[in-house]
Every structure is written in structure tokens, then in C-alpha cells.
């Protein structure tokens, strides 16, 4: 660790950020906005999306492969920009890795606990995240008086990956998924999958303006900043530079990323993640 005011040799190294596909771009975008001097190496596992219906063992294997790849790019920290991988793999991979590894669930739960007024919180997420019970456990640890209601929304990820962000079909599916949750009188809803903020407008339309939607990306970027500051690992650049890698369909990914990120996408490289 370096002295205060001095920039360590790793400080201008990038942050590794990964997800099953485009969802983690919602977190990468927030990091770019809050920490503009930090560089990002993003990996989207587009060949193997969705993660939400896969087993814990598979997600741990995928996460290990991706972290191994990101480390070849000399990243100084890793953000698991995927709730499913945060739920299933964060504990295991963080214990195996000697750089900071941050997930999205704890920051999301903290934000929801702050936002709720009636203590009734809904969570929408993938099947994996819901069945892991991780959000409920973290929320109950934060505040045992909370009441938590979860709903898996497996069709949201393919709808987002297909780019059907404002489509009537997405509204119809959202209506069906969210109908039950609304009967529990929740006042706060955690978007517990990093793909969901991309259909936030549709979700808000269905749940109504009085329900606060929590996007864990904002708090995750805050958490990253505090981890980097604590360790004197902040970059001293004015503007970071970003690189993008996927396991399939690089051109499609590049177009999508270009529409939602506050930066130009110069190139997207395809890698064989199992061999890299």
C-alpha cells in the first residue's frame, strides 16, 4: 500500500466488471459516472447467458474462468455486476482472490433498507438469486423487522438481451409477474438482476409511482469507491479508458453498449473464456 497522496503502481490499473451479458453495463455505467477516472475491463458472457437458471456449481465455475481472464488484463479489483453470480459465487471467489471482489447484493439491500417506509420490500430477480435466499438473508441481518417478498422473473433477461426494452410484450410479461407482489403492499422494490434497470420504465408503469425502485448499481459504485479509497487504490487519471470483451456476438453487444453507456465503444473483442 502506498503513502497518502502518492499513487501506487496499481492505481491506474482497470476495474474488472462482469455479467452474463448486457445487464452488468448498468453497473459499469454507474461506475463511469461516479468514478470517471477509473478504467474498466468489462466481460459479458453472451455465449452462456442466462445465468439465472443454472446451478450454483456452474456459476462458480463460470465466475472463476472470468476472474482468471480479467486478471490477465491486470485488474486491481473486480465487481461482480451480476446478482446471480453475487449470490452463488461471491463468497467462494472472494476467498480465493487477493484483490478486492465486490458483489451487488449487499449494496442493493442496504439501499432498500434505507428507502422503505413501511418495512415491506419486494425483490424481483432470477430464479437462482431468489432461490439462494441471499437478498432475504442480508436484509434480515440489516433489519430483522423487515418483511420481504420475492418473485423470480425469468423472461425479463431474454427480453432485455433481445433489446425489447419498451415493447408491449415486455409490459404484458411485467404485468403478469408483478401482479402478486403488489398485493403485499410493498413500498420498495429491488431490481435484483442487473438487466432489470434497463426495463425500469416498464416496471415502474406496472407497480405505480408510489413504489420506490432500487437499482443496486448506484450503491455498488459507492461501495467500490469506498473500498478503493480505504486501500489508497484510486486512480489519478482524469478520464478512464474502457475495454469490452464477450464470449459471443461482439457486434451486437457493441451496438447495445453504445446505446446505454456514457462513453464511446471503440471495440468489442470475442474471447474463448473456457480456454483464455
Q: Is 129 one of the binding residues for ligand DGL (CB under 6 A)?
A: yes
Among 14, 23, 108, 240, binds ligand DGL (CB under 6 A): 23
The three-state DSSP-derived secondary structure of 123-144 is EEECHHHHHHCHHHHHHHHHCC
Q: Give 83 or 170: the residue with its C-beta nearer to ligand DGL.
A: 83
150 binds ligand DGL (CB under 6 A): no
| 3-state DSSP assignment of residue 274 | coil
Q: What's the closest the beta carbon of residue 42 comes to ligand DGL, in angstroms?
A: 13
2 tagged catalytic: no
CA separation for the pair 74, 20 (Å, rounded): 21
The answer to the question of residue 220 lying near ligand DGL (CB under 6 A) is no
* Cis, peptide link before residue 50, omega less than 30° from 0: yes
Which is closer to ligand DGL, CB of 234 or CB of 246?
246
Interaction of residue 83 with ligand DGL, rule CB under 6 A: yes
Give the residue among 12, 46, 32, 29 at the shortest CA–CA distance from 200. 29
CB neighbours of residue 117 within 10 Å: 8
- Decide: 129 and 150 in contact? Cβ < 8 Å: no
Segment holding 243, helix H or strand E: strand 242-246
Question: Is 108 among the residues that bind ligand DGL (CB under 6 A)?
Answer: no
Taking CB under 6 A as the binding criterion, the range among 55-63, 67-75, 77-85, 111-119 that sits at the site for ligand DGL is: 77-85
Residues forming contacts to ligand DGL in the complex (CB under 6 A) are 19-20, 23, 49-52, 82-84, 126, 129, 157, 193-195
Catalytic residues: 82, 193
Amino acid at each position: 500500500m502506498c503513502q497518502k497522496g502518492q499513487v501506487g503502481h496499481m492505481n491506474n490499473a482497470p476495474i474488472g466488471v462482469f455479467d452474463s451479458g448486457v445487464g452488468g453495463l448498468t453497473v459499469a455505467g454507474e461506475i463511469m459516472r461516479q468514478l470517471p477516472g477509473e478504467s474498466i475491463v468489462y466481460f459479458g458472457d453472451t455465449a452462456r447467458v442466462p445465468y439465472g437458471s443454472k446451478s450454483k456449481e456452474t456459476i462458480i465455475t463460470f465466475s472463476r474462468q472470468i476472474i482468471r481472464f480479467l486478471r490477465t488484463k491486470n485488474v486491481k479489483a473486480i465487481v461482480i455486476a451480476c446478482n446471480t453470480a453475487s449470490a452463488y459465487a461471491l463468497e467462494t471467489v472472494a476467498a480465493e482472490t487477493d484483490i478486492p471482489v465486490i458483489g451487488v447484493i449487499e449494496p442493493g439491500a442496504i439501499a432498500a433498507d434505507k428507502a422503505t417506509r413501511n418495512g415491506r420490500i419486494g425483490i424481483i430477480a432470477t430464479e437462482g438469486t431468489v432461490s439462494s435466499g441471499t437478498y432475504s438473508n442480508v436484509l434480515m441481518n440489516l433489519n430483522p423487522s423487515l418483511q420481504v417478498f420475492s418473485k423470480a422473473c425469468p423472461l425479463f433477461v431474454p427480453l432485455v438481451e433481445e433489446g425489447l426494452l419498451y415493447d408491449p410484450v415486455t409490459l404484458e410479461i411485467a404485468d403478469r409477474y408483478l401482479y402478486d407482489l403488489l398485493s403485499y403492499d410493498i413500498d420498495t422494490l429491488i431490481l435484483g438482476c442487473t438487466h432489470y434497470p434497463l426495463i425500469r420504465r416498464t416496471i415502474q408503469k406496472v407497480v405505480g409511482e408510489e413504489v420506490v425502485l432500487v437499482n443496486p448499481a448506484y450503491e455498488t459504485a459507492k461501495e467500490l469507491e469506498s473500498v478503493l479509497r480505504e486501500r489508497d487504490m484510486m486512480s489519478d487519471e482524469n478520464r478512464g479508458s474502457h475495454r469490452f470483451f464477450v464470449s459471443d456476438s461482439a457486434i451486437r453487444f457493441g451496438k447495445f453498449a453504445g446505446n446505454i453507456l456514457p462513453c464511446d465503444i471503440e471495440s468489442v473483442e470475442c474471447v474463448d473464456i473456457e480456454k483464455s
